[in-house]
Amino acid sequence: MNVLIIEDEIALSKELEVFLKKEGYVCELARTGKEASEKIYVNSYDFILLDLGLPDYDGLELLKEVFKATKEASVIILTARGTVDDKVKGLNMGADDYLAKPFSLLELQSRMHAIIRRKHGLKKSILPIKGFNIDIDNRTVAWKEEQVNLTKKEFDLLHYLVLHKNRVLTRLQLTEHIWGNLMDDDFDSNYIDVHIKNLRKKLSAYEESDWIETVRGLGYRANIG
Amino acid sequence: MRLYTKFTLYSAISKILIVGIFVVFVPSVIERLADSHTDAQLVHMKNKTLAIVNRVGVKEFIEQEKDSVLNSYNILKEEFISIEQIAEPEKLGEVIQNTQRTIEDENVDYRVLSLTFKSGTQYYLLEVGKSLNRVELVQDYLRNLAWYLLLILLLVTVIIDIMFTRFLLSPFKLIEDKLKKTNHPEKFDFSSISSNTSDFKYLDDSINEMMHKINDAFMHERLFISNVSHELLTPISIIKNRLENILVEKLPEDVAMRVIETQNTLTRLSKIVNALLLISRIENQQFLKGEEVSVKDLVKEVVDEIEDRGSETNISIRVEINEDYLLRNANRYLLFTMVFNLVNNAIKYNIRNGSIEITGKFIDRNFQLIVKDSGKGIPSENIKSLFEPFKKIRKDKTDSHGLGLPIVKTVADFHGIQIQVYSQVNEGSSFVLVFP
């Protein structure tokens, strides 16, 4: 899949590129609005990651141009200015999602996944994992025919671990995913451990859940072959 | 009191004062007027009589009658003239006074001019009289006329006063309306009012200018906040993503641990920056207030979101909101943040197996949302500074940045919600939100 990263901060776009390349995306970078507005007419992209705060271009103007130039591209707005209007305006103009900086790369990836699922209408919304069936659309988990009674947060955790299977997710990444940009004043909490403990307990009632591994000191990993 | 009311009141009072003065002075003035009018008539009659007397001679004049007295009344006894011969009086001269005369067995009050004079060796008394009834008639007439005139004048001036005040003050009312419609300088209507009263023009222009200045200041601050957030959050963003990419590499365990520690430190920084930016943005009115929020739904949402956090320490959360309250002109996201932080604190500072009660009810016509915990409580000397940024009462809790309650306070202020705190050490605290 082709991704155009429109971002004036080179260091940042480089990190995005490193990450996305590993995930199998083909990346192109545009540092200015001018550069970007040329690229969108020449090449076709599946994703456009757009930083609204470009020095030479009004981000929302560029967004308009993007939609004029291409119909296929999904746009995710990235911004550090985060004025309240921007988010609403951007989404109203047809952007697919919005991430406020600083965001986690994994979060970006899972948003992109969600967009792909939505756009390309992936039929299979049931993920079979180790005897459990995760219904992504209805946000439920079943063991055979039986519903496993998970809380909203527990489901989100399980889904995120499975989505990024075989990869260590730090507590921080998990916290950010399930609590989002919530403005609480905790920055080092062990709530994730509690959630994982509860999640394991609930799953173990049906089937061994040791595939959710605690990676000592680092975080958690869903080991799925 | 409104200026218009004051003007009207002032006008009414001044009118009443004028009427009062009139009531006190008019009767005596009218009386005096009538008297002097009568007196002038009497003098005129006297002069005419004297002229005839001079022409004819006193003796001859009187001798037309018997008893050496001339008495002449008109038929209605409204006036009379008499001349008689008298003994030498104490002094000669002219007097005007009211006396009663009996004429044909009828007592009649007269105003009489008496003149004693000497003709030859004889003294004479000339009296010219006018019935007081007649005089009073004139007085009544004059008095009535005065009253009617007063009433009409009063009415006309009151109407003119009211209309004129209203007309004069209309630009003022326009300015007032403009201000009333404005809950934020940005929403201010800058069109200037039309008036040829220079004071109002000046007032309007000054207000417009001030509003422009305030708006500029707001704009300036907004731009500043936006720049600050960009300048601070971009480097944080770069470090964060770089650390994530580093973690994916094969790292020795201790290095990986330190990368994670660095991530945590960075999160701490970014949370503080975001919290400060949030507070500034709210204070700078950058959040819209167009939503209608049900407190009952809001609390349910918060509890759903947060319940799991209390499970580790086995804290029970009980919600009792029998009567819902709809907060209009609200920002749902901010209110959620506010309630979330309060309940989060109630969990964080609670004891194992503790409880939290969230109650919503009307007390004294105001809806109150009370978040009560069974925690360790706050010493009373600390309650005052509770909402100050970076004031951490509990020094043992190092995992929070101390901006939670300032955020709560800012959001509450933004919505006109009052916060009261009651706490007893070792028994727990209650945070009370009093809705407008």
Q: What is the pLDDT of residues B157-200, one digit of tens each?
A: 888 888 888 888 888 888 888 888 887 777 788 888 888 888 88
- Domain contains B352: yes
How far apart are the CA of A165 and the nearest CA of chain B, in angstroms? 13
Q: B434: part of which helix (H) or strand (E)?
A: strand B428-434
Q: Can you list the alpha helix ranges (DSSP code H) found in B86-197?
A: 132-180
Widest distance between CA atoms in chain B: 160
Range of the domain at B346: 291-434
- Domain contains B337: yes
Asked if the model's pLDDT at residue B138 lies above 80, the reply is no
Contacts of A114 (CB under 8 A, 6+ apart): A97
**Residue-level pLDDT at B139:** 79
Same domain, B222 and B302: no
**Residue-level pLDDT at B395:** 59
Same domain, B15 and B51: yes
How far apart are the CA of B245 and the nearest CA of chain A, in angstroms? 6
* A172·B263 Cβ contact <8 A: yes
**Residue-level pLDDT at B68:** 56
CA dist B120 and B133 (Å) reads 37
pLDDT tier at B419, thresholds 50, 70, 90: very high
Asked if the model's pLDDT at residue B312 lies above 60, the reply is yes
Global ipTM: 0.89
Of B288, B344, B401, the CB nearest to A84: B288
Query: Which residues in chain B have Cβ-Cβ distances shorter than 8 Å to A186?
Result: 344, 348, 399-400
CA dist B26 and B423 (Å) reads 74
Q: Could you tell me if A58 lies within 8 Å of chain B, comparing CB atoms?
A: no
A154 to chain B: closest CA residue: B308
Asked if the model's pLDDT at residue B75 lies above 80, the reply is no
Summarised one tens digit per residue, pLDDT across range A164-201 is: 888 889 888 888 888 877 777 676 667 888 889 889 99
**Residue-level pLDDT at B70:** 66
- Most B-contacting residue of A27, A106, A183, A199 (CB-CB within 10 A), to test interface: A183
Burial A187-222 (b: 16+ CB within 10 A, else e): bbbebbebbbebbbebbeeeeebebbeeeeebbbbb
CA dist A116 and B161 (Å) reads 76
CA dist A102 and B243 (Å) reads 12
Summarised one tens digit per residue, pLDDT across range B226-275 is: 788 788 889 999 999 999 999 888 889 889 999 998 998 898 888 888 88
Q: Could you tell me if B161 lies within 8 Å of chain A, comparing CB atoms?
A: no
**Residue-level pLDDT at B65:** 57
Mean pLDDT, rounded, for B145-168: 87
Find residue B119's DSSP bridge partners.
Answer: B122
CA dist B168 and B176 (Å) reads 14
- Domain contains B41: yes
Same domain, B417 and B390: yes
CA dist A202 and A141 (Å) reads 11
Q: Could you tell me if B409 lies within 8 Å of chain A, comparing CB atoms?
A: no
Same domain, B365 and B408: yes
CA dist A142 and B219 (Å) reads 54
Token digits for B65?
């009658």
**Residue-level pLDDT at B39:** 87
Of A9, A104, A187, the CB nearest to B238: A9
Same domain, B258 and B132: no
Same domain, B248 and B344: no
Same domain, B210 and B317: no
* B260·A170 Cβ contact <8 A: yes
The torsion defined by the Cα of B283, B284, B285 and B286, in degrees rounded to 10, comes to -120
Summarised one tens digit per residue, pLDDT across range A82-129 is: 666 677 888 888 899 999 889 999 999 999 988 988 887 766 678 888
* A15·B307 Cβ contact <8 A: no
Q: In what order do the strands lie in the sheet with A169-170?
A: A169-170, A219-222, A212-215
How far apart are the CA of A65 and the nearest CA of chain B, in angstroms? 24
**Surface of B (206-225) touching A: CB under 8 A:** 222
A218 to chain B: closest CA residue: B257
User: Among residues B263, B283, B303, which one ends one of the domains?
Assistant: B283
Q: Which long-range contacts (CB under 8 A, 24 or more apart) does A204-213 make?
A: A205/A148, A206/A131, A206/A132, A206/A143, A206/A146, A206/A148, A207/A130, A207/A131, A207/A132, A207/A143, A209/A130, A211/A130, A212/A161
Q: How far apart are the first and last CA of chain B?
A: 25
**Surface of B (285-304) touching A: CB under 8 A:** 286-288, 304
CB neighbours (10 Å) of residue B272?
18
Same domain, B213 and B89: no
* A19·B308 Cβ contact <8 A: no
- Most B-contacting residue of A13, A187, A196 (CB-CB within 10 A), to test interface: A187
Summarised one tens digit per residue, pLDDT across range A139-169 is: 888 888 888 888 888 999 999 999 888 888 9
- Domain contains B378: yes
**Surface of B (330-389) touching A: CB under 8 A:** 337, 340-341, 344, 348
Query: Which residues in chain B have Cβ-Cβ distances shorter than 8 Å to A189?
Result: 399
B227 to chain A: closest CA residue: A81
**Residue-level pLDDT at B15:** 85
- Domain contains B191: no
Number of domains in chain B: 3
* B407·A182 Cβ contact <8 A: no
**Surface of A (165-184) touching B: CB under 8 A:** 167-168, 170, 172-173, 181-184
CA dist B144 and B147 (Å) reads 5
For chain B, the residue count is: 436
CA atoms within 13 A on the CB side of B114: 15
User: Among residues B226, B255, B283, which one ends one of the domains?
Assistant: B283
Token digits for B140?
């009544």
Q: Can you list the alpha helix ranges (DSSP code H) found in B291-426?
A: 295-306, 332-348, 380-383, 404-414
User: Among residues B234, B265, B283, which one ends one of the domains?
Assistant: B283
Q: A186 in helix, strand or coil? A: strand
Nearest-10 crossing angle of helices A105-119, A10-22: 60
Query: Which residues in chain B have Cβ-Cβ distances shorter than 8 Å to A12?
Result: 234, 237-238, 241
Summarised one tens digit per residue, pLDDT across range A32-49 is: 999 998 999 988 899 999
Question: Cα B299 from chain centroid?
Answer: 39
Query: Which residues in chain A have Cβ-Cβ distances shorter than 8 Å to B274?
Result: 181, 183
Domains belonging to chain A, first-starting first, are 2-119 (3.40.50.2300), 126-222 (1.10.10.10)
Residue holding tokens 């990263």? Answer: A5
How far apart are the CA of B234 and the nearest CA of chain A, in angstroms? 6
Same domain, B307 and B420: yes
* A185·B404 Cβ contact <8 A: yes
Q: Could you tell me if B256 lies within 8 Å of chain A, comparing CB atoms?
A: yes
Of B234, B257, B344, the CB nearest to A184: B344
- Domain contains B105: yes
A8 to chain B: closest CA residue: B234
Same domain, B302 and B401: yes
Q: Could you tell me if B305 lies within 8 Å of chain A, comparing CB atoms?
A: yes
Same domain, B308 and B359: yes
Same domain, B306 and B277: no
**Residue-level pLDDT at A13:** 94
* A194·B312 Cβ contact <8 A: yes
- Domain contains B205: yes
Q: What is the CATH number of the domain that holds B368?
A: 3.30.565.10
- Domain contains B171: no
